[in-house]
Amino acid sequence: MKNIKNIALSLVCIGVLAACGSDDKKVAAPVDTGQNQGNVQTDETTVVHPTATIESVVSANADYAFAVYTDALHSAQSLQEAVDKFVASPSENNFMAAKQAWLNAREPYGQSEVFRFREGPIDALTKDEQGNWTLEDGQGPEGAINAWPLAEALIDYTQDMDGNQSRGNAQVYQAGGNIILDSVSFPQITAELIREKFELDGEEANVTSGYHAIEFLLWGQDLNADLTYTAQRDYTAGHRPITDYYTSANLPSDEANGRTCTSGEQGSFNEICERRGVYLKAVTQLLVEDLQAVVDAWRPDTGFHYQEYVKAENAAANLGAMLESMGRLSFGELAGERMSIAVRTDSQEDEHSCFSDNTHRDIWLNAKGIRNTYLGLYTRVNGLEQSGASIHNLLITKGHEELAVKLKAALDSTMGKVLIIDEIAKSGMSFDVQIQNAEHKEHIYAAISALGEQTDLIQQAIDALDVSAEDLKQDTEENI
Amino acid sequence: MTYTLKKLFMLIVIISLNACGGDSSSESNDKKDNSNKSEQVTTNNHAFNITVNDGLAPLLINQPDATEHLSAGLGTTNMVDQNAYSQAIEAIVDEPQLDAVFKAGDHTFRSNHDGQGPLFNNSSCQGCHIKDGRGQVPSTADEAMSSMFLRIGDSLGNVEPTYGDQLQVFGTINGRSGGVIAKYRGALDEGLAYGEAYTWVEYERVTGTFSDGETYELRKPIYKIKDLAYGDFIDDVQFSARVTPHVYGSGLLESIPQQHLLAYADPTDNNNDGISGRPAYTSHPVSGEKQIARFGQKAVTGSVLQQIAGAYRGDMGVTNSINSAEPCTDAQTACLAQAERENNKHHNGVDLNDVDLAQVEFYNRTLAVPKRRGFDVSTQLWQEEILAGRAQFYAANCHSCHVPRYKTAQAPGSVLGDVDLVSLSDARTNIIALEQQVIYPYTDLLLHDMGGSCVVSKELIDGQSCNEGEQCIYVQRCEGLADGRPEGEATASEWKTPPLWGLGLVQTVNPKATFLHDGRARSIQEAIIWHDGEAKASQQAFINMDKTQRTALLAFLGSL
């Protein structure tokens, strides 16, 4: 915890200096925390906060968007390579590599979610009747990319965990029915089919694509190690056997135990294992396509949204949007949907990344993205530091130093709280087990409270900078 | 008649031209001018002769209010696609703490629950209220009803002694996944909690003719019930088919002052217009206070909380602090035995805790209402056809029951207390976003006799009458809209006027949705034609309209 504070502090210093030096070109400088650590004290006492303007803060934020979505895209492309390789040749090494690639891909994406809740590309990017990209709230790819809980039973075989799904009459809805099994209703599994069926029959609950679909196809249901489902969970993640991807065409030559294709209790039909591989590849392809479109919208040279976003006349509205997104991700989404429901109801289904038991990272990364936005800082996947004018500096420039310091302290406090959840998970007790244990629940409630406190201060910042929601609403009404 | 309507139409055109010219003048001046003029000239363009003490200028039959495109004032959403019914009121979204509670409630609304059943119609709120809108009639008789159901009772308004007040199609049996549908005498013979009965609908085609010669076809429902798992029904059994209604806007309806609703009541038809709306009353489930029953298709519940707590228990078998008994009658021993096996560990012996209940209540109360279509904000002009249809709506006296406009008053916080993400407090903070809004729900929330009557028989598959046995099916045939089953203070042919706001988006949100309490009407036009009883004169006015007028009226209704 102490380390993190130090690192964070030194990053701020670097960020501040970089922003100060050059405004028109954001040069990514390598992080060298080891060397800087000794200078932290001096830097903190001597640094003069550079003047930030609303325009420069928004512009730096647009560069953050492009960087974080580009990282998300590249890591999804790496995931796609790993998945393709695994499906072609299902060795244990390739299986591990695909899972690791998925975990890697979550790291930048989690830090990008602070760009939600503002009618930006992630929530609103779609094509108009002429086939041109445009923004229409609610029509964006976010759901297809990251929706949860997943309707895993509609994708592949599952063991009945609580049953009681009683809607729809099609084969796919019947007990044991699913898209991979049902080759009559879904003869060809393609990225287009999955895009079309992302919410099967228009049911919001029938999510069949995105990160969590890939996660499910790699890890399988998060059952206990003995493949049972009980109210009292064990520490293990999903247990999908590698043989689920064995086909007559790709059977590993070194398969010593004579194992062939498996599909849970549905038997071992080669066609189903083939279709599972096809589904996994197609759904990963779809993720890459969706992220590509978001990256393109944020591309500084050609992205239509980037160019709108950084226009001076939109700066105040976009600063308001940045703060609103920070507040709404902090409280409604992260503290609310992603933490409080799971911990209050002891519900594994309401855990974000339940198949891989990676929820602790989702939580930490979301919180990090909020802090990144405030400080105008982002550490890229390659380790390079990207920084620019920040809301923190802007508050100080506008004479709200006390609020700036309090807000930063609140964000740091949250990071400390979510780090505890992260560390406990890394030590072996995953989030879905933490929510079952009184002592660890306290840590989660503490993180929820910290997120609440930072949200209050974010609202104060909205007022202090006079970019209130009221103004934003008027802007949207004018646009309609 | 045609002549005057044409004149009226001209008048509307002129008025809209005026609106076009005088767009930039300030609103208060406009209002002043309007009211002065109407006082000096005449009041026969007023929609109502009564005065409601809401501080609003009289509603005019020949000119929309300046804010009429905002169906629910600041509680209106601009979203008009398939997610139109699922949006939070903007002021809630803007407040992260409230937004979080809304989202938590939304989440619970979409979720299954531990301890559901033993008997249920669906496993989640959203499963019935599809995308927060209406449910649907199964497309074939083989598909179990999952977002509609049959209420059950006798002709005097008593519940069925064995089956209670509604037929739950699904039951719960350990070791069997999903909802278990009914099996004839299954609960009696095997002691297992099967679904209560299998219900389905068959339609008879009925044709008719408009005065201008155009024909129409209606679907007249025949409800059938078989596979009674818990034994025969009582002899005087009656059924009432219900398709799930939408939920958005309910918090605003709850915030209409009681006296403003009563102003439109006319139980003895003193004004002699053939329409005699009367309020139904209920007792508040916590305070015991007598209040107008605003919710339920026959007006039986007085608050959103009472409505959702009842739905949790009755439709999902999820008990809660308001309705703590499982949905089994004392006569259903198989159901009671299964209930004993339920996982009740969570919340003082009930399936749903008060934090969840309060969050879902908040969610329901703060769902926004979609804006009207057909209004150009930049020019402040309505489409001509919609204006013409609006005139038809008032000319046919539809507004006497579908009262267009109210102003909301107080919106006290939940009686459960203020809820945040994780806990309840003793405070009851008003939901300001719901207060002082001029809203256009198009309902009086009163009971009206819609005419008709029903007969229940027992028949074999070929139609011959029978007395008992697995092959002996219960069949309900009705004339008109009646259900034959009194409920609360409503008689066997009375219904509460449903709100019409958002009507035009019903099939945008759920393409399989249809209209009226049991979904028999495939279109808004069919729904109008089914009106009878107190609405007979209005229905006749519709039948007598020419094609242009009918199309205009439907355009208006479609823009709601």
> Rounded to whole angstroms, what are the CA distances from A198 to A187, A214, A230?
16, 13, 29
Closest-approach residue (CA) in chain B for A321:
B94
User: pLDDT exceeding 90 applies to what percent of chain A?
Assistant: 62
The verdict on B426 touching A (C-beta cutoff 8 Å) is: no
Contact call for A327 and B131, based on CB within 8 A: no
- Give this complex's ipTM: 0.72
Grade residue A337 by pLDDT with cuts at 50, 70 and 90: confident
Establish, for the pair of chains A and B, how many residue pairs have beta carbons separated by less than 8 Å: 117
Q: Contact, A357 vs A430, CB < 8 A? A: yes
The verdict on A138 touching B (C-beta cutoff 8 Å) is: yes
Contact call for B131 and A350, based on CB within 8 A: no
Interface test with B, best of A119, A164, A178 (most B CBs within 10 A): A164
Gap from A301 CA to chain B (nearest CA, Å): 32
pLDDT of residue B344: 63
**What is the rounded distance in angstroms from the CA atom of residue A145 to the CA atom of residue A199?**
12
pLDDT of residue A29: 38
Average pLDDT on A156-162 reads 70
Q: Which residues of A touch B99 (CB under 8 A)?
A: 328, 331-332
Contact call for A344 and B144, based on CB within 8 A: no
The four Cα atoms A378, A381, A384, A386 give a dihedral, to 10 degrees, of: -20
Gap from A363 CA to chain B (nearest CA, Å): 16
pLDDT of residue A27: 37
Gap from A270 CA to chain B (nearest CA, Å): 27
Interface test with A, best of B102, B422, B432 (most A CBs within 10 A): B422
Q: pLDDT at residue B509 above 60?
A: yes
Q: pLDDT at residue A226 above 60?
A: yes
**What is the rounded distance in angstroms from the CA atom of residue B249 to the CA atom of residue A22?**
52
pLDDT of residue A171: 57
Query: pLDDT tens for residues A228-277?
Result: 656 566 667 788 999 999 999 999 888 878 889 999 877 778 999 999 99
Q: pLDDT at residue B5 above 60?
A: no
The verdict on B81 touching A (C-beta cutoff 8 Å) is: yes
* Helix, strand or coil, per DSSP, at residue B152: strand
**What is the rounded distance in angstroms from the CA atom of residue A376 to the CA atom of residue B120?**
52
**What is the rounded distance in angstroms from the CA atom of residue A477 to the CA atom of residue B13?**
27
pLDDT of residue A228: 64
Q: Give CB contacts under 8 A, 24+ apart, made by A234-241.
A: A234/A433, A235/A428, A235/A429, A235/A430, A235/A433, A236/A357, A237/A355, A237/A356, A237/A357, A237/A430, A238/A355, A238/A356
Contact call for A138 and B122, based on CB within 8 A: no
Q: pLDDT at residue B233 above 90?
A: yes
Gap from B411 CA to chain A (nearest CA, Å): 22
Contact call for B421 and A350, based on CB within 8 A: no
- CA atoms within 13 A of residue A244's CA, in its CB half-sphere: 25
Q: Which residues of A touch B510 (CB under 8 A)?
A: 202
Gap from B403 CA to chain A (nearest CA, Å): 28
Query: Does an H or E element contain A211, and which?
Result: helix A211-219
Q: Which of A152-161, A229-238, B453-462 has the lowest mean pLDDT?
A: A229-238
Give all strands (DSSP E) within B132-197, no chain letters. 148-154, 170-171, 180-181
pLDDT of residue A177: 77
Query: pLDDT tens for residues A14-41?
Result: 333 333 333 333 333 333 333 433 333 3
Q: Which residues of A touch B343 (CB under 8 A)?
A: 231
The verdict on B526 touching A (C-beta cutoff 8 Å) is: no
Q: pLDDT at residue B14 above 50?
A: no
Grade residue A417 by pLDDT with cuts at 50, 70 and 90: very high
Grade residue B17 by pLDDT with cuts at 50, 70 and 90: very low
Gap from B415 CA to chain A (nearest CA, Å): 21
In our burial notation (b when 16+ CB lie closer than 10 A, e otherwise), range A30-68 reads ebeeeebeeebeebeeeeebbebbbbbbbbbbbbbbbbb
**A26 CB burial (10 A radius; 0-12, 13-18, 19+):** buried
Q: Contact, A212 vs A154, CB < 8 A? A: no
Contact call for A166 and B96, based on CB within 8 A: no
What one-letter code names the amino acid at A288? V
* Helix, strand or coil, per DSSP, at residue B71: coil
Contact call for A162 and B112, based on CB within 8 A: yes
Task: Kindly give the pairing relationship between strand B453-459 and strand B473-479.
Answer: antiparallel
Q: Which of A359-368, A432-441, B239-248, B521-530 has the lowest mean pLDDT?
A: A432-441
Query: pLDDT tens for residues B256-305?
Result: 999 999 999 999 988 888 999 999 999 998 889 999 999 999 999 999 99
Q: Which residues contact B527 (CB under 8 A, 6 or more apart)?
A: B515, B516, B521
Contact call for B179 and A336, based on CB within 8 A: no
What one-letter code names the amino acid at A244? D
pLDDT of residue A233: 66
Query: pLDDT tens for residues B36-94?
Result: 444 444 578 999 998 898 999 999 999 999 999 999 999 999 999 999 999 999 999 98
Average pLDDT on A419-431 reads 94
Q: Contact, A369 vs A329, CB < 8 A? A: yes
Domain ranges of chain B: 90-368+443-558
Average pLDDT on B113-125 reads 91
Closest-approach residue (CA) in chain A for B423:
A344
Query: pLDDT tens for residues A274-319?
Result: 999 999 999 999 999 999 999 999 999 999 999 999 999 999 999 9
**What is the rounded distance in angstroms from the CA atom of residue A245 to the CA atom of residue A226?**
21
Which of A14-18, A93-97, A328-332, B38-42 reaches the highest mean pLDDT? A93-97
Q: Contact, B276 vs B295, CB < 8 A? A: no
What length is written for chain A? 480
Q: Contact, A434 vs A424, CB < 8 A? A: yes
pLDDT of residue B13: 40
Q: Which of A4-8, A375-379, B84-88, B173-177 has the lowest mean pLDDT?
A: A4-8
Gap from A23 CA to chain B (nearest CA, Å): 32
Contact call for A452 and B116, based on CB within 8 A: no
Query: pLDDT tens for residues A65-83?
Result: 999 999 999 999 999 999 9
pLDDT of residue A172: 58
Q: pLDDT at residue B477 above 70?
A: yes
Q: pLDDT at residue B34 above 60?
A: no
Q: Residue B22: which of B34, B38, B7 has the closest Cα?
A: B34
Q: Which residues of B touch A335 (CB under 8 A)?
A: 100, 421
Gap from A226 CA to chain B (nearest CA, Å): 19
pLDDT of residue A253: 86
**What is the rounded distance in angstroms from the CA atom of residue B86 to the CA atom of residue B89?**
10
Closest-approach residue (CA) in chain A for B176:
A163
Contact call for B178 and A469, based on CB within 8 A: no
Residues 84-113 of B with CB under 8 A from A: 90, 93-94, 96-97, 99-104, 107-108, 110-112
- Closest CB to A165 among B78, B114, B123: B123
The verdict on B370 touching A (C-beta cutoff 8 Å) is: no
Gap from A229 CA to chain B (nearest CA, Å): 13
Position with higher pLDDT, A3 vs A156? A156
Which pTM does this prediction carry? Answer: 0.83
Q: pLDDT at residue A462 above 70?
A: yes
**Mean pLDDT, rounded, of chain B:** 91
- CA atoms within 13 A of residue B329's CA, in its CB half-sphere: 16
Interface test with A, best of B94, B373, B380 (most A CBs within 10 A): B94
Q: Which residues of A touch B124 (CB under 8 A)?
A: 205
- For chain A, list the domains and their CATH numbers: 2-147+287-479 (1.20.1420)
Q: Residue B113: which of B310, B305, B362, B319 has the closest Cα?
A: B319
pLDDT of residue A232: 62
Q: Which residues of B touch A321 (CB under 8 A)?
A: none
- Closest CB to B178 among A163, A202, A476: A163
